[in-house]
């Protein structure tokens, strides 16, 4: 167990950060305040934090007075957190892996506010967006490059962007220097806010979801190649059928996947 002095000179007892768990602890108060403000937590809502680490963000979230569920996988960190927040009745510490955590047991409405471990950021975002009990919003810290990929638009669309934007509206709130973390990661980060669409309407029938992702994965299978060839091989249809599908939706067969808008992919999926 190590000791680390914060910017106010106080000494906080922490365990050594574990690289295998992607532990980069947020130490900058201004960034924490910005994240909490962007989360826009309303009275009566539950807050879910993933990977609270040393509890700096947890402390700010607890001060809202809302019920806070913090999921921590590291037993060493969990012991410190339970001691630190023992006097906070609105804070519940849960030892679990966020990727298998059962969020369906959380009563609506709830929001996610977290400094996500880098190595599981993308699968975690998709898990909660696809959940039968999605949050009202996700306000999370991710790698800068990941955030930029998620908010991308044509002609720089990508598989991750389309997958996320099918379920939510993404927005980069602020960029964060790697120097705001301990230990400092190799890259800068960003606060990313995701506002999920209501789970209703044709977009969210399982049939339409499956066809959307099938079309999109086929189209992006070889991003630098023309769509007609990608769809033909990815969907197991002939090139003529692929060209006809594209032309029916007003899409030139020679275009590339990165130039298509989300609505184009939904239309192509509906046409399969």
pLDDT at 15: 55
Residues 6+ apart with CB under 8 A from 63: none
**139 and 232 together in one domain:** no
**168 and 208 together in one domain:** no
**118 and 242 together in one domain:** no
**195 and 216 together in one domain:** no
pLDDT at 16: 62
Which range marks the domain in which residue 187 is found? 2-199
In tens, the pLDDT along 132-187 reads 999 999 999 999 999 999 999 999 999 999 999 999 999 999 999 988 786 777 88
pTM, two decimals, is: 0.88
Structural domains of the chain, count: 2
Residue 20: exposure state from Cβ atoms within 10 A (0-12, 13-18, ≥19): exposed
Which of 199, 216, 234 delimits the end of a domain?
199
Query: What are the tokens at 203?
Result: 């977009």
- The three-point CA angle 129-134-138 to 5° equals 70
Alpha-carbon 55 to chain mean position: 20
pLDDT (tens, 9 = 90+) of the chain, 272 residues, equals 343 444 433 334 445 644 444 457 677 789 999 999 999 999 999 999 999 988 999 999 999 999 999 999 989 889 999 999 999 999 999 999 999 999 999 999 999 999 998 888 999 999 999 999 999 999 999 999 999 999 999 999 999 999 999 999 999 999 999 887 867 778 899 999 999 999 888 888 988 999 999 999 999 999 999 999 999 999 999 999 999 999 999 999 999 999 999 999 999 999 99
Please tell me the chain's helix, strand, coil percentages from 3-state DSSP, rounded to the nearest 5. 40, 20, 40
- Residue 243 sits in a domain whose CATH number is 1.10.8.100
pLDDT at 264: 97
Instruction: Match 């032309």 to its residue by tokens.
Output: 247
CA distance 188 to 198: 32
Q: 269 to each of 133, 163, 221, 227, how far by Cα in Å? A: 24, 13, 15, 14
70-85: b (≥16 Cβ within 10 Å) or e: bbbbbeebbebbeebb
Are 92 and 154 in contact by the 8 Å Cβ rule? The answer is no
């Amino acid at each position: 167990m190590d000791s680390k002095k914060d910017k106010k000179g106080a000494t906080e007892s922490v365990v050594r950060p574990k690289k295998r768990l992607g532990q980069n602890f947020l130490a900058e108060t201004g960034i924490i305040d910005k994240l909490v403000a962007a989360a826009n937590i309303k009275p009566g809502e539950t807050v879910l934090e993933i990977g609270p680490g040393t509890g700096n963000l947890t402390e700010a979230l607890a001060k809202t007075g809302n019920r806070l569920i913090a999921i921590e996988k590291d037993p060493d960190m969990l012991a410190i957190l339970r001691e630190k927040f023992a006097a906070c009745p609105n804070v519940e510490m849960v030892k679990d892996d966020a990727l298998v955590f059962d969020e369906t047991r959380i009563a609506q409405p709830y929001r996610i506010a977290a400094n996500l471990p880098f190595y599981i950021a993308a699968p975690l975002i998709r898990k909660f967006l696809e959940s039968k009990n999605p949050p009202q919003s996700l306000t999370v810290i991710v790698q800068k490059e990941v955030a930029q990929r998620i908010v991308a638009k044509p002609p720089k669309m990508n598989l991750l962007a389309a997958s996320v934007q099918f379920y939510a509206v993404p927005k980069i709130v602020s960029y964060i220097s790697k120097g705001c973390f301990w230990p400092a990661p190799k890259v800068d980060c960003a606060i990313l806010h995701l506002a999920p669409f209501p789970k209703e309407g044709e977009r969210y029938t399982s049939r339409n979801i499956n066809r959307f992702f099938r079309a999109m994965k086929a189209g992006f299978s070889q991003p630098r190649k023309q769509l007609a060839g990608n769809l033909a091989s990815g969907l197991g249809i002939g090139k003529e059928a692929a060209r006809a599908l594209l032309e029916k939706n007003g899409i030139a067969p020679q275009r590339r996947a990165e130039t298509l808008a989300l609505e184009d992919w939904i239309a192509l999926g509906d046409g399969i």
